[in-house]
Structure 1
Amino acid sequence: MTIPNHAKANFHTLLRAAADGNLALMDCLDSRTSEPRYVLCAIGHDGTDRVFTPFGHLADGNPYDAYFPPDPDNPQGFLTAD
């Protein structure tokens, strides 16, 4: 499966923000579930104001339980619990 260009661009933005010291972890509230989320944000500057751009939140619990990785033998597939 190919990672779309917009996801790659966002990843590179996060790398630049981290290298420049402009990455923040913010305590936020999920707008759909009202659960607390710890959100990775790039910090931008608009004059003297700071702009926090959210890119994603940290996985709750064990992140290894939250995701299935790509299947190295099938470029279109993922390894599952089966």
Structure 2
Amino acid sequence: MKRKIKGKETAVALRYDMNEFIAPKIVGKGQGEVAKRIIEKAKENDIPVYQDEKLAGQLSAMEIDSFIPEELYEAVAQILAFIAGVDADEIQ
């Protein structure tokens, strides 16, 4: 997930394993060059990148290794549905 803040790109990396976690977890975040590297690594590893400026801003304020708060479940669920759709399209 990425956004731009006053000219600086921001990226937040999420991880979710329903067998391991109670909710998606923030596993990385950064601005500027760090954000670019996060996005680059995601693309290199065929991990979908979803752009939502508002959500990226909310998540970037949180600590790495923290679970997303309940009030963001719906927004993140939409991202997971997007990713599931991308994965399904690639399989076909």
Query: Which TM-score bucket, shorter chain as reference?
Result: under 0.3
Q: TM-score, normalised by structure 1?
A: 0.25
The structure in which a higher percent of residues are helix is 2
TM-score (norm 2): 0.23
Q: Which structure shows the higher strand fraction?
A: 1
